[in-house]
Structures are given as structure tokens and as C-alpha cells.
Amino acid sequence: MGSILVKTNLPNHLYSGKVRDTYFINDKYMIMVSTDRISAFDVVMNEAVPGKGEILNSMSTFWLEKTKHIIPNHFLGNIDDVINTKVLDMDLFKNHINKDIKSRSMIVKKAKRLDIECIVRGYIAGSAWSEYKNNNTINDKLINKKLSPAEKFDCPIFTPSTKAETGHDIPLSEKEGKNLVGHEMYEFLEKKSIEIYNFAHDFSREKGMILVDTKLEFGILNDEVLLIDELLTPDSSRYWDLDDYVVGKFPPAFDKQFLREWLLNSNWNLTYPPPKIPNKIINDTKKRYLESYKRLTS
């Protein structure tokens, strides 16, 4: 996991996000490539994290397989499997797919994305802690119980947000979420999101890690709700080491924490262009990503 892939150039480009590039194979299937790009505060850094896309892709594949008993997902297979079994006509892509692309890519079903980020929190941290500290609310819902930093909720809570194409996602109240996707769909997404969180939390705990919170995405295909995009990676989820956990203090996370903290102390105004990131911060970030992958999947 030492090579670097920042840009991809396959045929049939469909969409590029902060990290992932998507290409359509036909009207039913797509190639989703996890690059080594890294973003913070909604800005993509000029430096990349070597092998990060490979870690994200492998971790998503692992969790998509582990959770398919809870809800179907969009994962069809890795590129080699699809090419070798000739499930799809991949001739257009054969000459463009090298080992770096293969290790960072999956073939997925094309679903109509629901424009809501389904966030589940088992512990108070991050933006939820900031809102609670300032307003005694989380997603505009009043919290009567006094909470300490990193405290575990009695039950996981569903705190969805908008799915913004650019800029920041905006937290949604329960009423706003139901207005966005409909009452029945909102309740279904809440139920399935919490089921996935609970399953992954219990699994992670057996590996000596705490799944603090996670962000999920869903889509519709043939009137069926599918889990889509990445799943339970350090880009979309916050993990802590179980041995580091004490209520009242936020442990180091297995994510972009090194990068975020360095940026916050760099006098950067959090708008483009970003500052130059030191190699040590890049290397420390990669180590945390890789450690989380190895511990969870071993």
C-alpha cells in the first residue's frame, strides 16, 4: 500500500467527489474508484496519503459483505472477478485498469441516491459535542441529560444531515428529515442505520475498538432500498481504541485527526487553497488508517 493514485482517467466518467471517481459501465453498473486524495474541512489537500484508497476500498468491501444480512447493498464485485467471469462487458476498460486502479475499485449497481446523510452516533463527539456544549441540543433536539465528553448514549441516536454537493452538510431535525424523504422512508432509514451501527459496534468492540459514530448513504433500485457508497471506513466513521476510552476525554481517533489538528494550528483560514502538509502528518494519518483496517479485518 505504498503507491499513490490521485487522478483517474477511465472512459465514461460520471462523477468525481473529494475522494471517489465514478465511471459508468452501462445503465445498470458503475466502477467506483477510491483515490488517495484526502480532504479536511471540505477542502481537498494538495498532498495525498499513499495507499489510502486501497485501505478504504478493502474496508468498504469487508463491511458490505459483513452487513448484507441487514440490508442489500450496491456491491457487485471487484474488477478482476467481474472481468474473469464475464458478468459484464468490460472490454472498454481493460486497457485502462492497472493494479493501482484494481486495488482501489469496486463494481457497483447504479441506484438513485437518497439525498440524506444517515448519521448514527453511539457516543457524543465531534459536531454533536460542539452543538450540545453550546445549545444543549443535538440536531436541534433538546438533551435533558447532562453529558460528559465521549460519553456513551443510552441508545444510539440518529442525527441525519443534508447531502451537499458542495460546502458543508447541514444537520436535519427529525421533522426536516421526514419532510425531505417522507415519514415512512425516514423511519426505515433510521431503523436500518441503527441496526448497521449496532452490528458494527459490537463487532468492532471484539477487535478492541469502539465505533463512535458513522455516516451511511442509501439509494433506490427497482423500488428497493440499497446501502451505497463507502461503509464504515475511517473517512466516514470515527473509531477509538477501547483501551484509550474513559468518559470525560476524547481519545485519539483512527481518522484524519492528525491532519485536522495540524490544520487548525496552522493559521489556515479553512478555505482553498490549503497549506502544504508535512510528510510526518501524511505518514501518521496513513498509519492510523492502516492500523484500523488491520485490526478490524484480521
- Burial (0-12, 13-18, 19+ Cβ within 10 Å), 202: exposed
Do 99 and 117 lie in one domain? The reply is no
| Short-list 134, 137, 132, 139, CA closest to 116 | 139
Is the pLDDT score of 65 beyond 90?
A: yes
Residue 208, sorted as left (phi over 0), alpha (psi -120 to 50) or beta, turns out to be left
Residue 81: predicted pLDDT: 84
The label of the residue with cell 499513490 reads 4
75 burial level (CB within 10 Å; 0-12, 13-18, 19+): buried
Residue 19 belongs to some domain of the structure: yes
Express each pLDDT in 81-97 by its tens digit. 888 888 899 999 988 99
Cβ-in-10-Å burial (0-12, 13-18, 19+) of 298 comes to exposed
What is the DSSP secondary structure assignment for residue 40, as one 8-state letter?
E
| Residue 83 pLDDT | 83
In this structure, the answer to whether residues 52 and 66 fall within a common structural domain is: yes
In the chain, % of residues over pLDDT 90: 91
Mean of per-residue pLDDT scores for the chain: 95
Q: Which domain holds residue 64?
A: 13-110
The answer to which of 20-34, 66-80, 165-179, 226-240 has the lowest mean pLDDT is 165-179
Domain co-membership, 39 together with 165:
no
282 in the same domain as 225: yes
Q: Which CATH number fits the domain that encloses residue 119?
A: 3.30.470.20
The predicted-structure confidence for 130-166, as pLDDT tens digits, reads as follows 999 999 999 999 999 999 999 999 999 999 999 866 5
Tell me, yes or no, whether 7 lies in a domain. no
